[in-house]
Amino acid sequence: MKTYTTLEQGIHFLTRKHTSIPTQELKGECAWKAKEIGSPETFAHHLSLAEINAINTLVDEVEALNIRLDEIGPGDWGNVNLQLLVDECCTALFQGRGFVLIRGIPIERWSIARAKLFMAIFGSQFGHLGIQNPQNDLIGEVCNHPEVNINYARNYLTNREFRPHCDGADLVGLLTIRPAAQGGESRLTSSVSVFNALLSESPHLIHRLFEPVLLDLRNEQAPGTPPVVWITPCAHHEGQLKTVYLSDYFRSADRHPGVTIDPEAKILFDLYDRLATHPDLELRFTLEAGDLLIINNHVILHARDAFVDVPHAKRLLLRFLVSSNR
């Protein structure tokens, strides 16, 4: 299956139908609150031994083909358990709460290369894998790089806190290889629930979510192109709200010459961040080794606490980005 360039992926993600600004609370399974979801023990899918064996067999078969990651595409796995797992994920991602957590991916005996192969195989079942950065990584490594830990590096290259945000593709998958020695707790919030809370608390600001704002590209723009781009955070069509929100990158846009952020926009960002991290809305949990978290970026915001590494076991997650036609 064709992989998407960063540009193709971004265009696909930002092409959303918009017909009206909602004036009433939005309903649906993706408009959840933290207490309704519970703990990972209840909402996670814990892999069975049959599923684990099927995953290892599948990775062995694809590995024997000796093909590149960008040559991997969806196919008939010939295994009912794995197909049921993918179907279950699709239902949750596109019709349900907007995220899934799969526990027990058998990484303990895998090399990083094998884990990346699995991520490419599994991610491709949901759509087109996408390039993640100027280095053309198809399966990215999320870890701290102290040499680039500067104010305006992309957040996934650092160990600092992420504010609630979404990535620039329909789906993001994160496979934990090694958790942090300290910190790094994961946080999820329904962007639909944040919208509802904002509508209730400050309805006069709602219109700003449907107007363009500047996004800082954090030094990863194409040569000769502007360092910022205009995006519209929200789009609404027939009761479905899709959100593109990146607080840190909205806020840092004014570091560039000629860019200013008006006072009302700053008020909106502050309020949106406060609501997105409110204990009633924000789900907190710790990712363990072998956990695969998949998120629908249109309806879910994700965040992460700052973390501390130890030299011999740095925190490492593998990431896929997927553009889906589902």
Per-residue pLDDT of 232-247, as tens digits, reads: 999 999 999 999 999 9
Tokens coding 164: 């609630």
Alpha helices (H) in the chain, listed in sequence order: 6-14, 34-37, 40-43, 49-65, 80-94, 112-123, 191-201, 247-251, 263-276
The model's pTM is 0.94
Write out pLDDT tens, residues 296-322.
999 999 999 998 888 888 999 999 999
Residue 224 CA to residue 283 CA, distance in Å, equals: 41
Residue 151 CA to residue 252 CA, distance in Å, equals: 9
Write out pLDDT tens, residues 39-88.
999 999 999 999 999 999 999 999 999 999 999 988 766 788 899 999 99
CATH code reported for the domain at 40-307+314-323: 3.60.130.10
Tokens coding 260: 């200013």
Residue 309 CA to residue 245 CA, distance in Å, equals: 28
Domain coordinates in residue numbering, the chain: 40-307+314-323
Is 301 exposed, middle or buried, given 0-12, 13-18 or 19+ CB atoms closer than 10 A? Answer: buried
User: Which residues have a Cβ under 8 Å from the Cβ of 324 and sit 6 or more positions away?
Assistant: 94, 126, 127, 128, 170, 171
Query: If you search the block for the tokens 């994700």, which residue do you land on?
Result: 302
Residue 296 CA to residue 98 CA, distance in Å, equals: 5
pLDDT at 18 over 80: yes
- Quote the pLDDT of residue 219: 83
pLDDT at 225 over 60: yes
Residue 94's nearest CA partner among 234, 296, 240 is 296
Average pLDDT over residues 103-122: 97
Residue 240 CA to residue 245 CA, distance in Å, equals: 16
Tokens coding 145: 């790089």
Angle at 248 between CA 251 and CA 37, to 5 degrees: 135
